[in-house]
Structure 1
Amino acid sequence: MDPLKPESFKHRKEVLSTGRAYHFVDQLPVDYDPKRHPTLLCVHGFPDLWYGWRYQIGPWVRRGYRVVAPDMLGYGGSAKPTDAEEYTSKKLCADLAALLDVLGVRRAIVIGHDWGSYIAGRFALWQPDRLLALIIVPYTPPTREYIPLTEVVKRAPNLGYQLYFNDQKSSHEIPSHLGKFVGLMFADVSQYGNKQLDFTPKGALENILADPKTPTGLPTILNDTERAYYIQEFGKGMHGPLNYYRTSQCRHEEELAARLPAALSADLPYLFIWGTHDPTATPFVINKARKFISKYQDIAIEGRGHWLMVEAKDEVTKHISEWLEHLTCSHPREVSKL
């Protein structure tokens, strides 16, 4: 498994019982035994792929874990429904449960990043019997009141870019500027720190992408090989990935109808791992999450930003491995249920 050679991983594609086809990497440890080797289900965010876990898959497999990393719905080699309602967390969680069924895995340790954190957190609510533990960035509980995105952006102007993602025109415009888009999303802000390229305020992202003066070769956390792979895979379509931002009301209605609880199961081990320079991991979000999680533990990685799996690849691998080893040693009976 070479992180710079996607083809060196074991790829699979299966049609799930939900009717959707998923592409995923399924990497088994030596002498795999489901009773001895827990499964890690790694859920990526936006904009990402199974490839976001490339630096962790090999080390985790060598430590005795089965690692499964899907292209989430709409991405890469997975199905790409056009209707935004197909991307609600309820349906995505049903897909992940169906994927575990295909694998013959009853319960998994679920790890999420970015949108994958949101989906992983909802998986713990929609499919609580399928988790052994949860490792994510901040947990966001369901709410009783629906807040429209326009109001959300008024309260949090740094989320203004989501208005563009919510607009159907972004599905057509972003593919025309993939080089710039990847450069902005994976930017190494420590290298250029240009406030003029802050895409978060309302209206900023579309203007930056359309501006011919915006450089296509921004310094990023990716090397040339990684960047080329992302551009290749995102070139298969961005409508599906952007649909995740168009589901807020549908998600809310589904959760309200199901009366999903705000708190996670009291016996669910939970690890929050975050970079201190990640703008999504604010003190408010962190403190709010603590109220709904009994077995809360967190690890802060100093000086690192949003793309922890790349920016702090060794630290992420080490911290999660050590936490999992403690968990599996402390709960051997639970591991046997996998």
Structure 2
Amino acid sequence: MDPTDPDSFNHRTELLSTGRTYHFVDQLPQGYDHKRHPTLICIHGFPDLWYGWRYQIGPWTHRGCRVVVPDMLGYGGTSKPNEPEEYTTKKLCADLAALLDLLGVYRAVVIGHDWGSYTAGRFALWHPERLLGLIMLSVPYTPPSKQYLPLTEVVKRAPNLGYQLYFEQLRSSEEILSHLGKFVGLVFNTPGSKKALDFTPTGALEKLFQDTSIPDKLPTCLTDEERRYYLQQLGQSMQGPLNYYRTSQLRHEEEQAASLGSQLRNDLPYLFLWGTDDLTVVTSVIAKSNKFIARFQDVAIEGKGHWLMVEAKEEVTTQVINWLERLMAHGTPTRTTRL
């Protein structure tokens, strides 16, 4: 398993019982025994791929874990329906449960980053019995809302989410695809870079696309080879990835119809990893999430931004495996750690 070579991982493509086809990496530890070796299912965010976990898959497998990493719906080699309603978290979670069924795994440690973090948190609500533990990166747990808040109102309260108003519009799929090189440079930017460009306020991203003084190849946390892989994979279509941002009302309606609770399972071990330089992380939201999680633990990684699996690859790899080993041996302590 070479992080610089996507083909060095064990790839599978399977039809799930939900009717969707998923591509995923399925890496087994030596002498795999489902009774002894825990399964980790790693869920990527936007605009990422299974490849976002490339630095963790090998080390976690070598430490005795089965590591399963899908391309989520709309990405890479996985089905790409055009309709936004196919991307609600209820349906995504049904896919993940079906993937575990296909693998013959009843309970897994679910790990998510960014949109994958949000999805992992919802998986813990829709399928609570399927988790051994829950690990969320960069996006803290938020409970279902009792009242629907339109995105326009959300952005008024959190102006740094203004880009989501653009993502919500169908025209953004083709426009981002036509400026994909610049877009990848903007979203994978390294925090603190002198050339960092802020695309988060409302309307900023469209202006940056039209600014010819900004090069298509911006400095990022990716190598040239990694950047090429993302461009190749994301270049298939941006409709699916952006559809995640077009489901807010649909998700709310599904959760209301199911009377989905706010509290995570009381005995569910929980770990949250976040970078102190990540502008998407609001400490007040972390504090709020603590109220709904009985076995809460968080680790703040100093000076790191949003793309923790790359920017802080050693810390993420080590923190997760140490947490798992403590969990298997003694249970998870409740505390906050800063690295």
Query: Which TM-score tier does this pair reach, normalised by the shorter chain?
Result: over 0.9
- State the partner residue of 1:158: 160
Q: 1:182-212: per-residue Cα shift (whole Å, max 9, x none)?
A: 0001012323244xx2100000011111222
- State the partner residue of 2:218: 218
- Match status 1:171 vs 2:176: no
1:150 CA displacement? 0.6
- State the partner residue of 1:143: 145
- Aligned AA for 2:79? A
- State the partner residue of 1:207: 207
Q: 1:54-104: per-residue Cα shift (whole Å, max 9, x none)?
A: 000000000000000000000010000011000000000000000000100
Question: 2:18 and 2:206 mapped to 1: Cα distance?
Answer: 35
Question: 1:214 and 1:145 mapped to 2: Cα distance?
Answer: 41
1:216 CA displacement? 1.4
Relative contact order, higher structure (CA 8 A, sep 6+)? 1
- State the partner residue of 2:115: 115
- State the partner residue of 1:330: 330
Asked if 2 retains the 8 angstrom alpha-carbon contact of 1:192 and 1:219, the reply is: no
Question: 2:287 and 2:323 mapped to 1: Cα distance?
Answer: 21
Question: 1:293 and 1:280 mapped to 2: Cα distance?
Answer: 21
- State the partner residue of 1:289: 289
Which secondary structure does the structure 2 equivalent of 1:201 belong to? coil
Question: 1:301 and 1:321 mapped to 2: Cα distance?
Answer: 16
Question: 1:281 and 1:190 mapped to 2: Cα distance?
Answer: 16
Structure 2 gap segments, 5+ residues each = 332-339
Which secondary structure does the structure 2 equivalent of 1:101 belong to? helix
Deviating beyond 3 angstroms after TM superposition, the runs of 4 or more aligned structure 1 residues are none
- State the partner residue of 2:336: none
How many residues matched? 329
- Match status 1:16 vs 2:20: no
- State the partner residue of 2:85: 85
Question: 2:217 and 2:170 mapped to 1: Cα distance?
Answer: 27
- State the partner residue of 2:182: 180
- Aligned AA for 1:213? S
5 Å-filtered alignment, 1:251-290, equals: 251-290=251-290
Which secondary structure does the structure 2 equivalent of 1:293 belong to? coil
Instruction: Name the stretch that deviates more: 183-192 or 95-104.
Output: 183-192
- State the partner residue of 2:334: none
- Match status 1:309 vs 2:319: no
Question: 1:96 and 1:84 mapped to 2: Cα distance?
Answer: 18
- Aligned AA for 1:168? L
Asked if 1 retains the 8 angstrom alpha-carbon contact of 2:274 and 2:300, the reply is: yes
2:193 to 191, 194, 197: 191
Which secondary structure does the structure 2 equivalent of 1:150 belong to? helix
- State the partner residue of 1:229: 229
- Match status 1:36 vs 2:36: yes
Question: 2:119 and 2:294 mapped to 1: Cα distance?
Answer: 19
Q: 1:272-294: per-residue Cα shift (whole Å, max 9, x none)?
A: 11111111221111111011000
Structure 1 gap segments, 5+ residues each = 332-338
Question: 2:214 and 2:15 mapped to 1: Cα distance?
Answer: 41
- Percent sequence identity over matched residues? 68
Q: 1:276-314: per-residue Cα shift (whole Å, max 9, x none)?
A: 111122111111101100000111111101000000000
Question: 1:156 and 1:115 mapped to 2: Cα distance?
Answer: 17
- Aligned AA for 2:241? P
Asked if 1 retains the 8 angstrom alpha-carbon contact of 2:182 and 2:209, the reply is: yes
Question: 2:174 and 2:65 mapped to 1: Cα distance?
Answer: 40
Q: Which structure's residues are more often helix, by fraction?
A: 1
Asked if 2 retains the 8 angstrom alpha-carbon contact of 1:44 and 1:52, the reply is: yes
Asked if 1 retains the 8 angstrom alpha-carbon contact of 2:195 and 2:219, the reply is: no
- State the partner residue of 1:48: 48
Question: 2:109 and 2:218 mapped to 1: Cα distance?
Answer: 36
Question: 1:170 and 1:96 mapped to 2: Cα distance?
Answer: 27
Question: 1:191 and 1:144 mapped to 2: Cα distance?
Answer: 39
- State the partner residue of 1:134: 134
Q: How high is the TM-score relative to the length of structure 2?
A: 0.96
- State the partner residue of 1:243: 243
